[in-house]
Structure 1
């Protein structure tokens, strides 16, 4: 087993497709970091990854079992994705399945989804603790049930002490990473199945325009562009669109209505999609170079290499107007 610690939640073979390096082992991409508002070029192996992100602790399994297993699957997907890009089609059912599986994994096995799962379980655990402390009988019943389930609970902590501790809120609930990884793996087939139900079109960028990608590149949105609140729609919901760039010149568009297999985007459509990609990014945008375009709040068709300067001007103007500094916006 590989002793890997830098686990890529965005596959390296996918990111290499956004590099123009002849030697893919030395592939670099343009990066814009939205947290620092800085751009730079770096090797693909340095991005889309977190230390021990897929490391598990399970009896009978190597800690890198999940990471190594995904590497084997990616080895099968990589050549098929290259053929899909070259032909702008799905030559076989195996090619279609591979791309759907790639999207399903990228959409689910990433820091944002992990954080959502963790937050949900923390809220549930917090609610259960407070419910069990509503009265002494309920508390002692919950302790008894937990012990019967094998939980090593001390017997020298009174109901009053526990209630005071919980009321102070001076504690942190930790959700086991192996458990969260298991939930992610369980979710991948469901998301992949819903993606496969869509009608998919290959959108080509016109000359002079290129697509960008990011650290969460499967964008799910309402097809009419309307905002329906803080929560994103589900992958199986009618009236939604999925966007996924697969190269600087080509992107996949998935709808629940029939559409032509091949579409040629205009400059504004490419910039619109790049803007959606930037909004969906957790932290970083990736591109072949800094020439890609997107829309910012004050300056449409902003090039990637100019993004830091444009956002800096926005932040300065907003700070002067409102008397405080706020983060500049991508439109």
Structure 2
């Protein structure tokens, strides 16, 4: 497996949709109390962490710090290739101001929902929780002597002596990032979004959607509700998608236009609506600088 150090939690194919004419993104980072200054960077320089998807060995040997190094990054790359094709096809349809029909519509829509769900489960803060849960489970297994003597011998022979915790973490990450059976994070998120109405929006000329290192805004009408009432995702500087609680029994999909004020309202919701993102990203520097002046520290 290739040793990829800089591992993205927001895919570069998505970030590239927000670059300016010279291939740069305009970015502003958030610290605990305020936003920094807007700077320009290539997609490679944002929304990534060193060895994000690698699992550290509990008993590192020489320079071999990780177990199954590169396996998750490689698997994510294959998934991204499929989702990128669907993402670009959807944008091409929206450029023509139409939606696909029949099976193609269902396929592109499902892959869009998978893409949005993957932005959530790949976020470092989400993965921190996954790893914490894995550590608790591994400790329980060790305390209850889960491994037999034969298991211990087999792990020794495979170079995994003392690596129960690492193996459990690897299994947890695989489940969180790739598995779709009932009860997994991806399956739950996908079912939630598929159960909502959907509207694609196009910004009028001169208006721009921004995005973020966590580019999903979710709203609840009541804190006691299991599922949200709405979710928002910027597709590109020109397009966005809004999911809302169903208003009818059958599925409902539509397209519409938003003026400058409506686009900026969605930008503000993304900026001020959660405390998960650490970077705001835009094609247009002036747009980002103007929005940053309205930043409300803390989020929700």
- C-alpha contact 1:90 1:96 (8 A) present in aligned 2: no
Deviation of 1:285 (Å): 0.5
Question: Does residue 79 in structure 1 map to residue 79 in structure 2?
Answer: no
Alignment of 1:218-229 (within 5 A): 218-222=216-220, 224=221, 228=223
- Which is worse superposed, 115-124 or 261-270? 115-124
Question: Does residue 284 in structure 1 map to residue 273 in structure 2?
Answer: no
TM-score, normalised by the number of residues in structure 1: 0.66
**Residue from 179, 184, 207 that aligns with 2:176:** 184
- C-alpha contact 2:27 2:281 (8 A) present in aligned 1: yes
TM-score, normalised by the number of residues in structure 2: 0.72
Cross-structure match for 2:114: 101
Structure 1: runs of 5+ lacking an equivalent:
129-141, 153-173, 293-303, 312-326
Aligned-residue Cα RMSD (Å) equals: 3.3
Cross-structure match for 1:265: 258
| Whole-angstrom CA distance in 1 between matches of 2:207 and 2:24 | 19
Provide runs of 4+ in structure 1 moved above 4 Å: 118-126, 147-152, 174-177, 306-311, 327-331
Cross-structure match for 1:299: none
| Whole-angstrom CA distance in 1 between matches of 2:193 and 2:293 | 37
| Whole-angstrom CA distance in 1 between matches of 2:11 and 2:51 | 15
The total of aligned residue pairs comes to 254
Match of 1:4, SS? coil
For CA contacts below 8 A with separation 6 or more, give which structure has more relative contact order: 2
| Whole-angstrom CA distance in 2 between matches of 1:264 and 1:56 | 45
| Whole-angstrom CA distance in 1 between matches of 2:253 and 2:122 | 30
**Cα–Cα, structure 1 residues 200 and 119, in superposed 2: closer, same or farther, change >3 Å?**
same
Deviation of 1:328 (Å): 4.3
**Cα–Cα, structure 1 residues 330 and 268, in superposed 2: closer, same or farther, change >3 Å?**
farther
Cross-structure match for 2:123: 110
Cross-structure match for 2:38: 39
Bigger radius of gyration among the two: 1
- Which is worse superposed, 189-198 or 282-291? 189-198
Structure 2: runs of 5+ lacking an equivalent:
58-66, 153-164, 180-184
- C-alpha contact 1:33 1:285 (8 A) present in aligned 2: yes
Cross-structure match for 2:12: 12
Match of 1:270, SS? helix
- C-alpha contact 2:134 2:172 (8 A) present in aligned 1: no
